[in-house]
Chains A and B, each alone.
Chain A
Amino acid sequence: MSDNSLRLVWIYPDLLSTYGDQGNALVVERRARQRGLDVARLDVRSDQAIPTSGDIYLIGGGEDRPQRLAAERLRRDGGLHRAVGNGAIVFSVCAGYQILGHEFINDLGQREPGLGLLDVVSTRGEGERCVGDVLGDIDPGLGLPPLTGFENHQGITRLGPTARPLANVQLGKGNGTGDGTEGAYNDTVFGTYMHGPVLARNPLIADHLLKLALDVNALPPIDDRWYEALRSERITAAQQPA
C-alpha cells in the first residue's frame, strides 16, 4: 500500500460494468473505510491509461463486443501487467475473468488473446447460457465460507497448472467444464463467473483481497448481519429445487 490510502482501481466502467459488478468496488471500498482506511477509488475509462500504482484492481462483466474492445485496449496499455508485477491484487468477473486468461472467443467468433495474468483458457459453450443461483465450496487453501453467486454466461474456462480453482460448485455450472470447478486464482490474481455482485454475497472474499493488499493476517471485525442474512437466504434458495 502506497502512503496511507488504499488505491482501488475500477477498470473500464464504460465497457465492463453491465451486470452490477461495480458493486464489488463499492463493497471493497465500504469495508476498507469501516476499518478506518482512507480509500482512493479510481474509475478508469478505456481511453485512459491504467495507473500502475493501485493496490486492488477490479474488473467486471460485459457484453461480447465491449469484452473484445477491453482486451485490445488493456493489451495495448500494458499497465495492468506492470501493476501485477508491483504486487497489486486483481479481482475479475465473467468477461473480465476471461480477459485475464491466455485467450477467449470474441464476439466475431475468433480466438482473442487475453492478458495471460491467470493460467486459464476460455472457449464458448454450445448449449444454453448458464443462468441462475450458484452454491460452491471455496478452495480450502483460502479458508473461506461457501461461495454464493449468480451466473449468467456461456463460457467454458479450463485451468492450466499454475491456476487453482476458486471453488467447487455444488449447484450451478461455474467454469462450464463439467468438472465442477468455478473461477481460478493464483497468488494475487482472482477470476470468477459469479455476479450478485459476488463480493456483496461473499464479503469475506472482499476482506481476503484487503488482507492481501495490506499484507495483514486479520482485520478488525465489522457488523456483517445483513450480509449474513442475505447469504443464508440465497444458500437456502439455491438448495431448493426450482
Chain B
Amino acid sequence: MAGNSDPLSPRAKLAVTAGKAVAAASRAAGRGSGSVIGGRVALKLDPDLLARLAQHLDVILVSATNGKTTTTRLIAEALRAAGPVVSNALGANMPAGITSALAGGSDSRFAVIEVDEKYLSGVARDTDPKCIALLNLSRDQLDRAAETRMMAEHWREGLAGSKAVVVANADDPLVVWAASSSPNVVWVAAGQMWKDDAWSCPSCGGVMQRPGDDWFCGECGFRRPTPSWALSGDHVLDPHGSAWPIHLQLPGRANKANAASSAAVAAVFGVPPQVALERMYQVQAVAGRYDVVQFMQRDLRLLLAKNPAGWLETFSLIDPPPTPVILSVNARGADGTDTSWLWDVDYTRLTGHPIFVLGDRKLDLAVRLEVANQHFQVCESLDQAVQMAPPGRIEVIANYTAFQDLRRRVGN
C-alpha cells in the first residue's frame, strides 16, 4: 500500500507514463486526442490502475442517456470553487478514456467523470465515488445496447450498497428505480420531456399513471419520490425553498435541468447553489455542441441529438419558424446501425420550418418526413443545403457521426 504523499506504486507509475507516451504518439499521428488508446495501454500494464488513480480523489460519476458530457462540464466548473478538478471533459467515457483522464490529475482534489451507461456499475465499483449523478434513461442504439429497462436494472444492482450520495432525477421513473436501491439519495425534480420508455412500472410492470408532473404505478405503489431540489422555469429551488436564477450560455430546458442536477451535486461538496450556478455560466459549447459557427457567410447553430429523447428536447429549443432547419443522420457503428428510432421522433413539430436533409441515411429521413407530411429537400452536401436555405440563422441537428462530419466540414 503506497503512502499518501505518493499513492501510485512503481508499476502504476510505469503504466501512467507508458499510457501518456502512447497518447502523445497517437496525437502526433493525427488520430485524435489519444486519450482512449493511451488509457488502454495503461490499463493493460496495470488493470487496477483506475482504482489506484481514484483513491486519492473525491470522485463524482455522471451517467445518463442524454446530457452527460454537458453536465460533467457544469459540475466540474462548479466544483472548481472548492478545489482543483480533473475530468474527462472530451467525452471519452469508457474505462480506458477515464483512466487516461485521471492519469493527468495527480494534483486534483475532485475527479468529475462522465461514464457510459453500460460501464457505470463497474466504474462505480473501481473508483469508490463520493457522489453519482443520474440524469435520465431512454432508448438509444437498441441494435447493440441492452434494453432500456434492463439498463435501469443493471444500475440498480450496481448501486445497491454504494456509499456514494446518489443525485437522481425524480421525474424519470427508470432513474428512480435504479437509484432507489441506494441508501443515500438526493432527489432532483429535473423534468423529462420524453416519457415513452416509462409507461410500464419498472418494479411490477403495472401501467404508470401520470397526472400532471406526478407519476405513480396504479398497482404496486411505486411512485415519484418527494424531491429536495427542483428545476422551476429559469430557477433552481434548493432544499430550503430558495430560488436561484440559472444563467447559462447553453440553450434549452434540458441544460437548465442539467444545471439543477449540477447544483445539487455541488452542494454535496459544500459549494452553495449561488456560487455553483454563477460558475456554470462559464461553460460554452461542449465539444462543438450548441456552437454557432460561420459557414458560407451564414450562421449555423450545431445541435447534437442522438436518440428520440434528445431530438424531442432539441426541437423544443430551436428558433421558431420560418427558421431553416438542416437534419443529418448517419447509421455508422457509433450511431447504431438501425434507423428505426427516427419513427419515434415527432417530426410534425417542425411544421413551418423549411427542412433540408442530408447524411448517409437521408432517404430514411425523407420517407419519415413524407409520412409526417412535412415539406423538405434532400441534399447531397452541407454546402448545398446552406445554399438552398432561406435567410436567417440555420439550426443544424445531427446524430453522432453526422455531427462529427459537419464539424469537420465547417472547420470547427
A216 interface residue (CB < 8 Å to B): no
Flag if B367 contacts A66 (CB, 8 Å).
Answer: no
Flag if A226 contacts B344 (CB, 8 Å).
Answer: no
Flag if A20 contacts B342 (CB, 8 Å).
Answer: yes
Instruction: Please measure, in the bound complex, the distance between the C-alpha atom of A200 and the C-alpha atom of B365, giving whole angstroms.
Output: 11
Flag if B343 contacts A23 (CB, 8 Å).
Answer: yes
Given the known A-B contacts A45-B207, A64-B147, are A20 and B341 also in contact in the complex, defined by CB atoms under 8 Å?
yes
Given the known A-B contacts A18-B142, A20-B342, are A229 and B200 also in contact in the complex, defined by CB atoms under 8 Å?
no
Partner of A20, one of B205, B343, B363: B343
Flag if B344 contacts A20 (CB, 8 Å).
Answer: yes
A14 interface residue (CB < 8 Å to B): yes
A210 interface residue (CB < 8 Å to B): no
B21 interface residue (CB < 8 Å to A): no
Flag if A229 contacts B199 (CB, 8 Å).
Answer: no
Instruction: Please measure, in the bound complex, the distance between the C-alpha atom of A26 and the C-alpha atom of B367, giving whole angstroms.
Output: 11
Flag if B199 contacts A13 (CB, 8 Å).
Answer: yes
Flag if B205 contacts A152 (CB, 8 Å).
Answer: no
B200 neighbours in A (Cβ, 8 Å): 14-15, 46, 65-66, 69
B142 neighbours in A (Cβ, 8 Å): 18-19, 152
Flag if A63 contacts B148 (CB, 8 Å).
Answer: yes
Interface residues of B (CB under 8 A from A): 139, 142-144, 147-150, 196, 199-200, 205, 207-208, 218, 337-344, 363-364, 366-368, 370-373, 378
A35 interface residue (CB < 8 Å to B): no
Given contacts A23-B340, A65-B205, A229-B366, 15 further A-B contacts (CB under 8 A): A13-B196, A13-B199, A14-B207, A18-B142, A20-B340, A26-B371, A63-B149, A65-B200, A66-B149, A150-B338, A150-B339, A152-B338, A195-B340, A200-B368, A229-B363
Q: Which of the four size classes fits the interface of chain A?
A: 20 to 34
CB distance from B169 to the nearest CB of A (A): 20
Flag if A226 contacts B147 (CB, 8 Å).
Answer: no
CB distance from A217 to the nearest CB of B (A): 25
Chain A window 120-136, contacts with chain B (Cβ cutoff 8 Å), 1 for yes, 0 for no: 00000000000110000
Partner of A30, one of B139, B363, B371: B371
Chain A window 225-238, contacts with chain B (Cβ cutoff 8 Å), 1 for yes, 0 for no: 01101100100000
Flag if A131 contacts B143 (CB, 8 Å).
Answer: yes
Instruction: Please measure, in the bound complex, the distance between the C-alpha atom of A18 and the C-alpha atom of B146, giving whole angstroms.
Output: 12
Flag if B196 contacts A132 (CB, 8 Å).
Answer: no
Flag if B196 contacts A17 (CB, 8 Å).
Answer: yes
A197 interface residue (CB < 8 Å to B): yes
Instruction: Please measure, in the bound complex, the distance between the C-alpha atom of A65 and the C-alpha atom of B204, giving whole angstroms.
Output: 10
A3 interface residue (CB < 8 Å to B): no
A196 interface residue (CB < 8 Å to B): yes
Instruction: Please measure, in the bound complex, the distance between the C-alpha atom of A7 and the C-alpha atom of B338, giving whole angstroms.
Output: 30
